[in-house]
Structure 1
Amino acid sequence: MITLTLLTQPDCTWCSDGKQLLAGLSREFPLSVDEVDLHSEQGRILAARHRLLFAPGLIADGRLIAHGRLSARALRRDLTLLCPTPDH
């Protein structure tokens, strides 16, 4: 299982698009996505720790792997590297 944290904010088109993209990728990869609002205390701490400038931000294995408009191709590549088994 790949555990991801998605930092989002209200009324963010890229955040909504990112959620849909991750929902689609969850059919290819074993994903667990924890959504955190950037305006929450936890969200502010994570954003500061990872120097996130704008939403959405995607954290895996304690590092920021993507932010802003999420790319399906880039995420697929990153998730393949993070996947615990070779055939997902």
Structure 2
Amino acid sequence: MTEPVQITLLTQHDCGFCDQAKQVLNRLADEYPLQVSEIDLASPEGQRLATQAGVLFAPGVLVDAQPFSFGRLSERKLRRKLNTRVHT
């Protein structure tokens, strides 16, 4: 069995793109083994991760602790990434 893909989602309150990212991740969780952690961007841990990953604004997405994107999450781009991760 494939190890779950670790997704870290850096979010902030009242963020439409954050809500959209959560919807995308919920859909993809039906197809891929995902383990999603949501962290408030304003928290000390969120600030540390954002600085390390170069996240300029929410939502920030890290895949297996590696920077993936920030701002509006592209489901197509994430699906391509997950396909390469799960099928290798």
Above 0.5 in TM-score? yes
- In structure 1, what is the Cα distance between the partners aligned to 2:5 and 2:66? 13
Q: CA RMSD in A?
A: 0.8
For residues 58 and 14 of structure 2, what CA distance do their matches in structure 1 show?
Answer: 11
Displacement of 1:18 in angstroms is: 0.2
Give 1:62 shift: 2.4
% identical aligned pairs: 45
1:68 aligned residue: 71
| Amino acid aligned to 2:39 | V
1:48 corresponding residue in structure 2: 51
- Once the two structures are superposed, the pairs formed by residues 14-25 of structure 1 within 5 Å of their partners are 14-25=17-28
| Secondary structure of 1:32's aligned partner | strand
The answer to whether the aligner puts 1:29 opposite 2:32 as a matched pair is yes
Runs of 4+ in 1 over 3 A off after TM superposition: none
How big is the shift at 1:80? Answer: 0.9
Number of residue-to-residue matches in the alignment: 84
Q: Which residue of 2 aligns with 1:57?
A: 60
Residue 15 of structure 2 corresponds to 12
